[in-house]
A and B are shown apart, each in its own frame.
Chain A
Amino acid sequence: MVNRRYFPIAVVAVLAVVAVAGFGCDTDGGGDDEPFRIGVMESLTGPGETYGTVSNQAKQLAVDEINAAGGIDGRMIELIVEDSKCGAQDAITAYNKLTDVDGVKIILGTSCSGAMLGAAPLAEEDGVILFSGLATNPDIATAGDYIFRTSMSDAQLGVDTGNLLWADGIRNLATITESTDYAEGVRRTSVAQFEQRGGSIVAEERYASDVTDFRTQLTKLINANPDAIHLAAQSEFAGGTIVKQLRELGYDGPIYTEVVPIGATALEIAGDAATGVKAVTADLDPANNKAKEVLQSFREKYDYVTLAWYLGSAYDDVYITAECLKQTGDDQDADGFRDCLYDITWSGAIGNNYSFDEQGEVVGLSNVVVEVLPTGERTEDNQGYSVLGPAPLE
């Protein structure tokens, strides 16, 4: 019988097995026939697992396509994937593993803003590229010179909403907003853009997240006789209930909102009252053939499709990376890669002719405008709405 006092030694043995794999890591590279080594940091476990997994799979799909087509001037791309778990601490260990052990200088990711903001100061100090397709926190805009993203900042949603309202001929707007950071942010940026275009706010109301009866506040908004009502919500229950109660109170004017009140739960609560509601959200443009191709390829490879826009964004990131590697010819040349990103104009799954500004923020992309379908036409595939097209840029 094994003496249990020797157990710590058994632990050492187990760890040693892990070490053998680690000692065998190949950190060399850079030869003419060596693959380009690119790091990937995604939230493969933890709170952002769904986003991270889809993003990782989309990147792998793009890499497989590029390699199958002969690579970049004959050189393949190799992804080294690390789990950043949607947290700053894990992002830092993943980052240090990628840069210090694997020696990569270009990292695609992360899918979570918290992980991105944890690793960004290190990347900026080390001169390592962090290139995300999913992180949307506005603070990332000022994270540094080596930090880029094709995902749109949450602030962009408000700009697109303001432009849409103006383009639809709305001049007098009433707003109702949930008292949360996200919803308040959407309202603030939407109203700022709308007012900049020349619109006026005729009434505004706010509600706490646990309220269920909005009739008094909604009556005030309706009495102000607005051209449209804008709803910013963080809870689908409240969002759906507000739409339903607006129609019950006899309001038949347009309602504008964002992604939350057109979620499955909200649409179920609102029922037919939601028909015709317009929302600004990140989704692929159905008129974009590249987007269709990517979705089809993804479905063929993984047998499902979800988070279509984010999937497309992660996919585009790999092709942009491939283009810049073609120009620099060196996966260790982060400065050259950075300059390439600043100069590049790209057309892919998430849009045409987009580029990056001096903060590394994507420009030339917009969210899309969707309109909720009648209840009889809502299916799982169309998610209850039809995409009308990109949000107006001006």
Chain B
Amino acid sequence: MNGNATTASPSLFERGMLMLREKGDLELYANVFVIGWAVIFTLWQGVGFAVTLGTVFCIWAILSVSLNLVVGYTGLLSVGHIGFFGIGAYGMAILTSDTSYELLRTESIPQFGLPFFAALPICVLAAGVAAVVVGVVFNRFRDDIYVLVSFGFAIIAFNVFLSWRALTRGAYGIPDVQRPQIGSWVADGEIEFLALCVVFLLIVVGISWFLVSSSFGRVLKAIREDEQVAQVFGYQTTYYKLAIWVISAMMAGLAGGLLGSFTTFVDPNSFILLESMLLVSIVILGGLASIRGSLLGALAFVLLEEGMRFITYLPSEFIGQVRQVVLGVMLVLLMLFRPQGLAGRYKL
């Protein structure tokens, strides 16, 4: 009798799970399910809202993937990435803004009037140049000290945005940042802008995938595991670290350029240290050393944060704070039960 029980054929659910495992990674199917659910959820709420969230997701996904190259694959815990994001956004604002309001402006910020597609490469390059300057200094540090100096960079960047009024208009910010335009076609609609962001996200993911799959990527992982061993094998680790740092910063500059054009207004409040911490949280939440994890992390974060808007029956006096507390608790729970992140392969 007992023998019959133990040899009974597995249930339909068990067979399904077995089949999924045999056919591949269960996490992949779960992730696909999450993404599918996300699309249905946001579309159900409203197409316009879904498109906005899609755009925000793309921008933060580019940022997240770029930071993962540094933190996850190379093992350099940088909390200053928001600085490059800001350089890209301010680059887009300064190069394309056509603001003419002069009453309170004490210095005339230079007006270039460039179109979006001319300004975007400059934003990327500006972030890259800044990264070279910063990276040469940062390469002297490791581990805890690296975190501290990158923290310092985030603070410096914020204060430059706030204080270099001749260029950034300080706390007043820069309005009228231009949307993408090709000929007479202007991507002023939200769907067109989302499509553009998706294209850039795919490019960034493609480049990142190529990098981490190549011998270059294997050296980065070797640096993460033991930099001295990599040096013993003859690799100039300083150059590898600088290279990935600059590439990552340029991707962040791209995300910043997109953000500036998306919001059409740029001010220092978007680049405070808290945003940098959220970005690191997204990377860890998604999973270190996993591009798929970064995408999933950005998606989960945007959905969790924006999904909180749909928690009803909260007193309006506390609605904002309660949502933030719930978000914080969920992040803590995620880290408790899944310290390597949703799709991570490496723990800090």
Q: Which residues of A contact B (CB under 8 A)?
A: 4-12, 14-16, 18-19, 21-25, 40, 42, 44-47, 49, 52-53, 56-57, 60, 79, 81-83, 85-89, 92-94, 96-97, 99-101, 112-114, 117-118, 121, 125, 137-139, 141-143, 154-155, 180-182, 184-185, 188-189
Stretch from B8-16, B29-37, B134-142, B201-209 that touches the partner: B29-37
- Interface status of B324 (Cβ within 8 A of chain A): yes
Q: Are B320 and A45 in contact (CB under 8 A)?
A: yes
Q: How far, in angstroms, from A81 to B44 measured CA to CA in the complex?
A: 20
Q: Are A92 and B52 in contact (CB under 8 A)?
A: yes
Q: How far, in angstroms, from A8 to B20 measured CA to CA in the complex?
A: 15
The count of A-to-B residue pairs whose CB atoms sit within 8 angstroms is 190
**B 193-234 binary contact with A (CB < 8 Å = 1; else 0):** 000000000000000000000000000000000000000000
* 6 closest A-B pairs by CB: A44-B320, A22-B310, A8-B30, A100-B46, A185-B104, A100-B48
Q: Within 8 Å CB of B37, what residues of A?
A: 12, 15-16, 19
- Known contacts A15-B307, A97-B309, A118 near B263 by CB under 8 Å: yes
Q: Are B269 and A100 in contact (CB under 8 A)?
A: no
Q: Are A189 and B103 in contact (CB under 8 A)?
A: yes
- Interface status of B308 (Cβ within 8 A of chain A): yes
Q: Which of B33, B49, B334 contacts A101 (CB under 8 A)?
A: B49
Q: How far, in angstroms, from A10 to B175 measured CA to CA in the complex?
A: 42
- Known contacts A8-B27, A18-B307, A19-B41, A118 near B264 by CB under 8 Å: yes
Q: Are B309 and A15 in contact (CB under 8 A)?
A: no
Q: Which residues of B contact A (CB under 8 A)?
A: 26-27, 30-31, 33-34, 37-38, 41, 44-49, 51-53, 56, 99, 101, 103-106, 165, 169-173, 175, 188, 259, 262-267, 269-270, 272, 274, 296, 300, 303-304, 306-312, 316-317, 319-321, 323-324, 330, 334, 337-338, 342-343
Q: Are B106 and A185 in contact (CB under 8 A)?
A: yes
Q: How far, in angstroms, from A29 to B324 measured CA to CA in the complex?
A: 29
- Known contacts A7-B338, A19-B310, A181 near B170 by CB under 8 Å: yes
Q: What distance in Å separates the Cβ of B15 from its nearest Cβ neighbour in chain A?
A: 17
10 contacts between A and B (CB under 8 A): A6-B30, A40-B316, A88-B264, A88-B266, A92-B52, A96-B48, A96-B51, A101-B46, A139-B101, A141-B101
Q: How far, in angstroms, from A154 to B34 measured CA to CA in the complex?
A: 47
Q: How far, in angstroms, from A180 to B166 measured CA to CA in the complex?
A: 10
- Known contacts A16-B37, A89-B263, A185-B104, A117 near B175 by CB under 8 Å: yes
Q: Are A88 and B265 in contact (CB under 8 A)?
A: yes
- Known contacts A47-B272, A96-B52, A181-B172, A101 near B103 by CB under 8 Å: no
Q: Are B34 and A8 in contact (CB under 8 A)?
A: yes
Q: Are B41 and A15 in contact (CB under 8 A)?
A: yes
Q: Which of B47, B263, B265 contacts A100 (CB under 8 A)?
A: B47
- Known contacts A12-B33, A15-B37, A21-B310, A93 near B52 by CB under 8 Å: yes
- Known contacts A100-B46, A155-B103, A4 near B338 by CB under 8 Å: yes
Closest-by-CB residue of A relative to B320 is A44
Q: Are B307 and A88 in contact (CB under 8 A)?
A: no
Q: Are A47 and B30 in contact (CB under 8 A)?
A: no
Q: Within 8 Å CB of A182, what residues of B?
A: 170-171
Looking at B27, B30, B265, which has the most chain A CB atoms within 10 Å of its CB?
A: B265
Q: Within 8 Å CB of A143, what residues of B?
A: 175
Q: Are A45 and B324 in contact (CB under 8 A)?
A: yes
Q: Within 8 Å CB of A87, what residues of B?
A: 269-270
Looking at A96, A143, A154, which has the most chain B CB atoms within 10 Å of its CB?
A: A96
- Known contacts A19-B307, A92-B263, A83 near B45 by CB under 8 Å: no
Q: What distance in Å separates the Cβ of A194 from its nearest Cβ neighbour in chain B?
A: 16
Q: Are A81 and B106 in contact (CB under 8 A)?
A: no
Q: Are B47 and A44 in contact (CB under 8 A)?
A: no
Q: Are B316 and A79 in contact (CB under 8 A)?
A: yes
Q: Within 8 Å CB of B311, what residues of A?
A: 18, 21
- Known contacts A15-B34, A44-B320, A139-B99, A22 near B104 by CB under 8 Å: no
Q: How far, in angstroms, from A155 to B104 measured CA to CA in the complex?
A: 7
Q: What distance in Å separates the Cβ of A41 from its nearest Cβ neighbour in chain B?
A: 11
Q: How far, in angstroms, from A87 to B27 measured CA to CA in the complex?
A: 35
Q: Are A18 and B310 in contact (CB under 8 A)?
A: yes
Q: How far, in angstroms, from A194 to B335 measured CA to CA in the complex?
A: 61
Q: How far, in angstroms, from A7 to B157 measured CA to CA in the complex?
A: 37
Q: Within 8 Å CB of B265, what residues of A?
A: 88, 114, 117-118
Q: Which of A15, A94, A101, A138 contacts B304 (CB under 8 A)?
A: A15
Q: Are B103 and A47 in contact (CB under 8 A)?
A: no
Q: How far, in angstroms, from A118 to B89 measured CA to CA in the complex?
A: 14
Q: Which of B33, B104, B334 contacts A154 (CB under 8 A)?
A: B104
Q: How far, in angstroms, from A130 to B53 measured CA to CA in the complex?
A: 21
Q: How far, in angstroms, from A12 to B30 measured CA to CA in the complex?
A: 8
Q: Are A82 and B309 in contact (CB under 8 A)?
A: yes
Q: Are A139 and B33 in contact (CB under 8 A)?
A: no
Q: Are B106 and A184 in contact (CB under 8 A)?
A: yes
Closest-by-CB residue of A relative to B324 is A45
Q: How far, in angstroms, from A100 to B270 measured CA to CA in the complex?
A: 24
11 other A-B residue contacts (CB within 8 Å) besides A18-B304, A138-B104: A8-B296, A9-B30, A19-B44, A19-B310, A22-B310, A45-B324, A112-B269, A114-B265, A154-B104, A181-B105, A181-B170
Q: How far, in angstroms, from A40 to B49 measured CA to CA in the complex?
A: 17
Q: What distance in Å separates the Cβ of B303 from its nearest Cβ neighbour in chain A?
A: 6
Q: Are A88 and B267 in contact (CB under 8 A)?
A: yes
Closest-by-CB residue of B relative to A102 is B46
Q: Which of B34, B101, B103, B312 contacts A11 (CB under 8 A)?
A: B34
Q: What distance in Å separates the Cβ of B35 from its nearest Cβ neighbour in chain A?
A: 10
Q: Within 8 Å CB of B27, what residues of A?
A: 5, 8
- Known contacts A7-B337, A15-B41, A22 near B307 by CB under 8 Å: yes
Q: Within 8 Å CB of B262, what residues of A?
A: 89, 92
Q: How far, in angstroms, from A258 to B257 measured CA to CA in the complex?
A: 37
Q: How far, in angstroms, from A139 to B266 measured CA to CA in the complex?
A: 13
Q: Are A99 and B48 in contact (CB under 8 A)?
A: yes
Closest-by-CB residue of A relative to B25 is A5
- Known contacts A14-B330, A21-B310, A22-B307, A117 near B49 by CB under 8 Å: no
Closest-by-CB residue of A relative to B323 is A83
Looking at A21, A89, A112, A180, which has the most chain B CB atoms within 10 Å of its CB?
A: A89
Q: Within 8 Å CB of B175, what residues of A?
A: 117, 139, 143
Q: Are A100 and B45 in contact (CB under 8 A)?
A: yes
Q: How far, in angstroms, from A23 to B170 measured CA to CA in the complex?
A: 42
Q: Are B316 and A81 in contact (CB under 8 A)?
A: yes
Q: How far, in angstroms, from A86 to B342 measured CA to CA in the complex?
A: 30
